[in-house]
């Protein structure tokens, strides 16, 4: 599903260049539930942004569902994100002026699905995350866990091939965190590839596989304790 070949990414800083990703090779198959682990500054967010076509890379090749993702226009990138990817963020990022249902329906709005149709679909997805009764609630009337479940429903509504989650449990207590992880597992069981960036080991342990990043390099088969922050 995802294939990275010798991806390099550096940022310009005041003095010179900061080499964030160094010759990263990565294969993630269809239907995998993978965590990306690493301490802050390891490059895991950059990696996720490149996977999410939110950021560009300097050299190498990135294939998403056998499509080369390179030198895309803003419009094309938006289309790929909308079609292939679902995003879940640490801070939920729900739009404050839309209720739960409208927030979930938003990706379909960008696909020009009619309001009636997309709101009906959004209700099904809210049902799936157990929030059907809350469809008309505004984000500020929802708890953190509820917000994240709305966000997951939103990530799923466009039927993505890959769901990318950036510290999805970072702002949640442990009980809620497990509920959210169960939801990701449920999503994964439907055959959707799920990639979770986290620094929490117990979250990582619930995944099929952990990809460990340190100083922009992927480490394989090393002792977990080496990454304990």
Partner 1 sequence: MFDLDRWQEILSVLWMNKLRTVITGTSVAWAIFMMVFLMGGGNGLQNGVEFMFKDDAVNSFWIFPDATSKPWKGLPVGREIQLENEDHDRLATFEGVEHSSGRFNIGGSFNVKYKEKAQAFSVRAVHPGHLEIERTKMTHGRFITEQDNEELRKVAVIGKLVSEEFFASPEAGLGEWIDIKGGIYKVVGVFEDDGGDREMQMIYLPVKTAQMANNGGDQLDQLMLTVDEDMSVAETVVLEDKIRKDFARKFKYDPEDQRAVSIRNGIENFQRFQTLFFGIKVIITFTGLLTLLAGVIAVSNIMLITVKERTKEIGVKKALGAKPMHIIGSIIQESIFITLTSGYIGLVAGVALMWAADTALKAANMENQFFRNPEISWQMAVASLILLIIAGALGGLIPAWKAAKISPVEAMSA
- Residues in contact with partner 1 by CB under 8 A are 49, 52, 54-55, 74-75, 78-79, 81-83, 87, 89, 93, 95, 97-98, 102, 106-107, 109-111, 115, 154, 158
Q: How far is the CB of 154 from partner 1 (least distance, A)?
A: 7
Nearest to 137 by CA among 33, 149, 128: 149
Q: Please say which residue, 158 or 169, places its beta carbon nearer to partner 1.
A: 158
Q: How far is the CB of 138 from partner 1 (least distance, A)?
A: 10
Integer Cα distance of 30 and 28 in angstroms: 7
What CA–CA distances, in Å, run from 221 to 84, 204, 209, 211, 218?
30, 15, 11, 9, 10
Q: Please say which residue, 111 or 190, places its beta carbon nearer to partner 1.
A: 111
Nearest to 191 by CA among 158, 211, 166, 162: 162
Q: How far is the CB of 43 from partner 1 (least distance, A)?
A: 13
Q: Please say which residue, 121 or 210, places its beta carbon nearer to partner 1.
A: 121
Q: Please say which residue, 151 or 210, places its beta carbon nearer to partner 1.
A: 151
Q: How far is the CB of 45 from partner 1 (least distance, A)?
A: 8
């Amino acid at each position: 599903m995802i294939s990275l070949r010798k991806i390099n990414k550096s940022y310009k800083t005041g003095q010179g260049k900061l080499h964030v990703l160094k010759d990263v090779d990565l294969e993630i198959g269809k239907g995998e539930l993978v965590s990306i682990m690493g301490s802050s500054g390891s490059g895991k967010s950059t990696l996720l942004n490149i996977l999410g076509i939110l950021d560009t890379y300097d050299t190498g090749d990135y294939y998403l569902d056998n499509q080369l993702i390179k030198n895309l226009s803003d419009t094309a990138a938006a289309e790929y994100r909308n079609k292939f990817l679902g995003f879940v963020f640490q801070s939920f990022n729900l739009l404050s002026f839309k209720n739960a249902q409208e927030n979930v329906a938003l990706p379909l709005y960008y696909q020009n699905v009619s309001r009636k149709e997309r709101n009906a679909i959004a209700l099904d997805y809210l049902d799936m995350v157990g929030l059907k009764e809350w469809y008309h609630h505004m984000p500020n009337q929802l708890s953190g866990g509820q917000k994240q479940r709305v966000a997951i429903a939103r990530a799923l509504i466009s039927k993505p091939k890959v769901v990318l989650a950036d510290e999805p449990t970072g702002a949640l207590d442990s009980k809620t965190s497990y509920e959210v992880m169960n939801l990701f597992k449920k999503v994964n069981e439907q055959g959707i590839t799920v990639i979770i960036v986290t620094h929490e080991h117990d979250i990582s342990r619930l995944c099929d596989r952990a990809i460990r990043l340190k100083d922009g390099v992927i480490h394989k088969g090393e002792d977990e304790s080496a990454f304990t922050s």
